Amino acid sequence: MCFNSQISIKTFLFGIFTLLIIYYNNLYSSHKIIEFKNPYTYFFMMSFIIMQLFEYLLWENINNLFINHLVSILGLLLLTIQPIASLTMLNNTQIKLRNKLIFIYSIPAFLYVLYQILTNHINTSISKIGHLKWNWTFDKNKFVNFFVYIFYLYFLYFSLFSNKYYNEIIITLPLFLIMYYFYYKDGSAGSLWCFSINIIMVYYLIKLIIVNLGIETI
């Protein structure tokens, strides 16, 4: 997974295809996927799926300095938006909390991104083991790196815990931590989210089949 442009674009198309099937099912079927009754769930999922399109463009233009730089900046901005997309999924009874959390996250997050853009040449390269290496997710200071990841994960997963999306948490969070542990030194941990995207989309397809067969939802 995530080793070349074809895998990235196929992951993108698979994600779009799965979301379209879910949307059609929830629109016309009485057997709905509960998570997608909230329209913001599509927004959240798209924030990860679109990253695979960006990775495809990076693979195809890895040696084009202008496109590499431009798409890398877009990727950094999209990465920053992902926790906001997650927080929008908080239910309507938590609007004040949602708005407060988005504000608390957005100010330091976008200031940090602005600092990175102004002080570093944002670009992507290929790591030693053949993965895309985002040269915009690691600060030279290890403490800063750790704090940024904890800050990012807290806001990314807040709504999933609040909405009790425990299956999604079980599928994605351990993968993220494992990838961070094994690929931190290589610098390619952030680019391996396509593992989670494919697994979570397969999970929703299986859940869609189970729900429409009338079997108890998972």
pLDDT for the residue 139: 63
Q: Is the pLDDT of residue 217 over 80?
A: no
Q: How far is Cα 77 from Cα 98, in angstroms, rounded to an integer?
A: 20
CA of 161: how far to CAs of 79, 114, 196, in Å? 20, 29, 17
Q: Could you tell me the two tokens for 149?
A: 């990841």
Q: Is the pLDDT of residue 156 over 90?
A: yes
pLDDT for the residue 189: 60
Asked whether residue 108 is domain-assigned, the answer is yes
Q: Residues 6 or more apart from 2 whose CB is under 8 A from it?
A: 8, 11, 55, 131, 132, 191, 192, 194, 195
Least confident of 4-13, 75-84, 98-107, 190-199: 190-199
Q: Could you tell me the two tokens for 27?
A: 């629109």
pLDDT for the residue 187: 61
pTM: 0.89
Segment 35-48 shows an average pLDDT of: 94
Q: Average pLDDT of the chain?
A: 87
Asked whether residue 52 is domain-assigned, the answer is yes
Asked whether residue 131 is domain-assigned, the answer is yes
pLDDT for the residue 129: 79
Give pLDDT tens digits for 104-154.
Answer: 999 999 999 999 999 888 999 988 878 888 887 666 677 888 888 899 999
Give pLDDT tens digits for 157-214.
Answer: 999 999 999 989 998 888 777 777 666 666 656 656 677 788 899 999 999 988 877 7
pLDDT for the residue 72: 95
Q: Is the pLDDT of residue 1 over 90?
A: no
Least confident of 30-34, 80-84, 95-99: 30-34
CA of 160: how far to CAs of 81, 117, 173, in Å? 16, 30, 11
Asked whether residue 56 is domain-assigned, the answer is yes
- Banded model confidence at residue 93, pLDDT cuts 50, 70, 90: confident
Asked whether residue 130 is domain-assigned, the answer is yes
Total of domains in the chain = 1
Asked whether residue 218 is domain-assigned, the answer is no
Q: How far is Cα 185 from Cα 116, in angstroms, rounded to an integer?
A: 20
Q: How crowded is residue 149: how many other Cβ atoms within 10 Å of its Cβ? A: 18
Asked whether residue 168 is domain-assigned, the answer is yes
Segment 69-98 shows an average pLDDT of: 94
- Of the two residues 212 and 67, the one the predictor is more confident about is 67
Asked whether residue 199 is domain-assigned, the answer is yes
Q: Is the pLDDT of residue 216 over 60?
A: no
| Structural domain for 159, as ranges | 5-212
Q: How far is Cα 195 from Cα 2, in angstroms, rounded to an integer?
A: 8
